[in-house]
Amino acid sequence: MSTQAAASIPLGDARRVAREASVTRRRRGRVGQERTNWGTTIVLFLCALTVLVPLYVTISMSLKSTAQAVDGNAFSLPSPIDFSGFSKAWALTNFPVAFTISILVTAASVIGTVLLAALASYAIARNWDRKFFRYSFFYLLAAMFLPFPVVALPQIQLTGLLGLANPLGVIILHIMFQLSFSILLFTAFLRSIPLELEESARIDGATTGQTFWRLVFPLLAPMSATVGIFAFLASWNDFMMPSLIIADSSMQTLPVVQQIFQTQFSNNYNVSFASYLMAMAPAIIAYLFTQRWVMEGVTQGAVKG
Amino acid sequence: MTTETLPSTHPAGRSATSEDGATTTTAPPRAAARTRLKTEGIYLWFLVPTLVLFTLAITVPAILGIFYSFTNFIGFGEWKFIGLTNYIAVFSDPAVLSSYLFTFGFAIVTVIIVNVIAFLLAVGLTSQIRVKTGLRAVFVIPMVISGIVIAYVFNFLFSNSLPAFATSIGFGPLQESILANPDLAWLAIVLVAAWQSIPGTLLIYIAGLLSIPGEVYEASAIDGAKPLRQLWSVTLPLVAGYVVINTILGFKNFLNVYDVIVGLTNGGPGTATRSIAMTIFTGFTGGDYAYQMANATIFFIIAVLISVLQLRLTRGRAAIA
């Protein structure tokens, strides 16, 4: 996914992004006019339609009857409103199974990425003077230069041989491809945590493991959120990897099962759109509740690196 | 809240950055002194399992794939070394060549369109507008939607709605789906790919624009610069670093294009929109395993070269991606 994008310019910009709304433009406002720029506001509202119209089409198509959906007019309102597309899509894609697999793959990828990357980063950051840890860091980072298509064929071959041509194999690969970027973020963040905190914990008798779990890991929470959001987006929306790795089509993830509407049932547009909507909705709904975090987290991750 | 607080937050953010960039190579010395006293066995437990898993999942397949690219392996059964034969054949294969031309052309056009639109949106979204947070939230929505699913939605619009509309107004050229037209199908792919990747680019530009201190606008306004002139002569140079990063990251990302094409044209009509990734994957079903691994190795070298270029261009900013 594109947001893998670990660019890296200044730190600290990120957090401002979401909350600056009121503050930022006052600066400029001192000189220019203090009032709202209505022209720009209206242009932006029109631009926002390019995002909203495809979503409207998806919703309205999914509520049409098969007869109405087939006329090709995507923008008309559904009349009569017909929910039968959803029940058909539910059955055709075996939605409960695909949804459960997607949730499991995504949850395991997110948790696995955050835990493995945090542990490895902590070990690396606190042993930077040792060659082994330093070289491990660069070794793990090297995967950033490796696009998935380059190693896809051998990975398909090996996961097949090892009995991992299933969602578990996808989970492992999702975590591994997410590691480089996540370790980069965690190690940068770990350097900003004062060592005195850990030293005092150790004076109180905490072992390294206790120090990590009770003190460092909670302190990493903001960065864990960022790493987790990237891992979520990469895993939940992924089509390429599951479609190639998972051999059994009844074990496919939600984005991949949408393929059936291209070959079969291709004229039941209300059914296919109901299915697309059910595939999109969970992430959109989750986003609407967490959008501030997501925007902040993605900016932080993308800008920081 | 007022202008006074901002100058102080900005330098702080900046200096943290440069410090951070520098410490990529030199760790806090105190860490060194302390860990030598402590047992470090636990640290190995934190790191080594991940290293092993990473090696098995990424490094071994990579080496295996490069190894097979020098053989005539077809995915199973026996094989023997055939030297550089695959590489020579790849270089003279019109199918491979056309996939590279298509993918690079697509990536260049898309990266330009995405950056121009995202930059302008970012300027708009950081100006004095109403419902700022709400608008931003809307523009970021495409980021959380799966590429394949939105490509299917657009597929319907391109192949059903647009021709139906063109027919109703009697506009000839668009009465047939543009996805079925070898000369126009790529435009649809550019459009959907751009739709999907503008949010990420946009967020980076917003961060860039917010890092510009207000004083420079005040200074240029005093010198008589109009808003457009400010945009061109003040804003753009100050976010140049962000432009470089967005361009390279976007380009690398678009070279891997796959989902959107599968959802729109599946490489067609014919092979007009077949990307490099799609060509490589034919090696799995088509018995061209070793041959496509030679292709993949070449692609890998190109990816590394672009990354090296990126590191050079963003030097001093500790960029790795």
Q: What is the pLDDT of residues A101-146, one digit of tens each?
A: 999 999 999 999 999 999 999 999 999 999 999 999 999 998 888 8
Residue B302 domain boundaries: 94-313
Task: Please name the amino acid found at residue A130.
Answer: R
Gap from A40 CA to chain B (nearest CA, Å): 6
A34: confidence class by pLDDT, cuts 50, 70, 90:
low
Q: Closest-CA residue in chain A for B222?
A: A31
Grouping H, G, I as helix, E, B as strand and the rest as coil, residue B134 is helix
Contacts of B214 in chain A (CB under 8 A): 26-28, 30
Classify residue B19: in a domain, yes or no: no
Classify residue B279: in a domain, yes or no: yes
Q: How many CA atoms lie within 13 A of A303 on its CB side?
A: 29
Fold annotation for A94-257: MetI-like fold (1.10.3720)
- Higher-confidence residue: B162 or A13? B162
The Cα angle at residue B176 between residues B170 and B181, in degrees rounded to 5? 140
Q: Any idea which residue has 């999907």 for tokens?
A: B196
Classify residue B75: in a domain, yes or no: no
Q: Closest-CA residue in chain B for A281?
A: B145
Peptide bond into B269 cis (omega under 30): yes
Kindly state the average pLDDT of the residues B24-35. 47
Output the pLDDT for position A266. Answer: 66
Q: Establish if A7 touches chain B: CB-CB under 8 angstroms.
A: yes
Answer yes or no: is pLDDT of A2 > 90.
no
Contacts of A149 in chain B (CB under 8 A): 256, 258, 276-277, 280-281, 296, 299
Answer yes or no: is pLDDT of B184 > 70.
yes
3-state secondary structure A150-193: HHHHHHHHHHHHCCCCCHHHHHHHHHHHHHHHHHHHHHHHHHCC
Domain borders along chain A are: 94-257
The span from the CA of A194 to the CA of A217, in Å, is 14
Which of B51, B79, B152, B315 should we substitute to test contact with A (largest number of A Cβ atoms within 10 Å)?
B152
Classify residue B276: in a domain, yes or no: yes
Q: Do B32 and A128 touch (CB under 8 A)?
A: yes
- Could you tell me what percent of chain A has a pLDDT over 70? 87
Classify residue B231: in a domain, yes or no: yes
The Cα angle at residue B213 between residues B210 and B216, in degrees rounded to 5? 125
**How many domains would you assign to chain B?**
1
Per the DSSP assignment, residues forming a β-bridge with B81 are B71
Output the pLDDT for position A295. Answer: 86
- Higher-confidence residue: A5 or B55? B55
Q: Are A44 and B124 in contact (CB under 8 A)?
A: yes
Q: Any idea which residue has 């610069």 for tokens?
A: B225
Answer yes or no: is pLDDT of B109 > 70.
yes
Output the pLDDT for position A74. Answer: 83
Kindly state the average pLDDT of the residues B1-24. 36
- Tens of pLDDT, residues B188-206: 999 999 999 999 999 999 9
Q: Looking at A207-211, A217-221, A252-256, which range is the least confident one?
A: A207-211
Specify the pTM: 0.85
Q: Establish if B28 touches chain A: CB-CB under 8 angstroms.
A: yes
Gap from A130 CA to chain B (nearest CA, Å): 8
Answer yes or no: is pLDDT of B18 > 60.
no
Q: Tally A–B CB contacts below 8 A.
A: 413
Phi and psi at residue B155, to the nearest 5°: -55, -45
The span from the CA of A248 to the CA of A241, in Å, is 14
B177 closest CA partner among B194, B160, B165, B193: B160
Q: What CATH number corresponds to the domain at position B189?
A: 1.10.3720.10
